Amino acid sequence: MTTASQRVALVTGSSRGLGRAIALRLARDGYAIAVNGLHDAQPANVAQAIRDAGGTADAFIGDVTDEAALDELVSVIAGRLGPVDVLVLNATGAQPDIPLADTTWSDHLDQLLFFVASPVWAGRAVLEGMRERGWGRIVHIDSEVSDRVPLHRSAYVAAKSAQIGLMRAWALELAPHGITVNSVGPGFIPVERHAELAPEVIADYVASVPAGRIGSPEDVAHAVSFFASEAASFVTGQRLVVDGGRSVP
φ/ψ (deg, to 5) at 243: -145, 15
Are 135 and 182 in contact by the 8 Å Cβ rule? The answer is: no
Q: Which of 114, 156, 188, 227 is catalytic?
A: 156
CB-based burial label for 128 (10 Å; 0-12, 13-18, 19+): exposed
Q: Which amino acid is it at 218?
A: E
Q: Which amino acid is it at 243?
A: D
Are 216 and 189 in contact by the 8 Å Cβ rule? The answer is: yes
Say whether 211 sits in a helix, a strand or coil: coil
Sequence-distant (≥ 6) Cβ neighbours of residue 210 within 8 angstroms = 244, 245, 246, 248
Number of Cβ within 10 Å of residue 41's Cβ equals 9
Decide if 156 is catalytic. Answer: yes
Nearest one of 175, 169, 25 to 88, comparing CA atoms: 25
Are 233 and 180 in contact by the 8 Å Cβ rule? The answer is: yes
First to last CA, the chain: 42
Point out the residues that are catalytic. Answer: 156
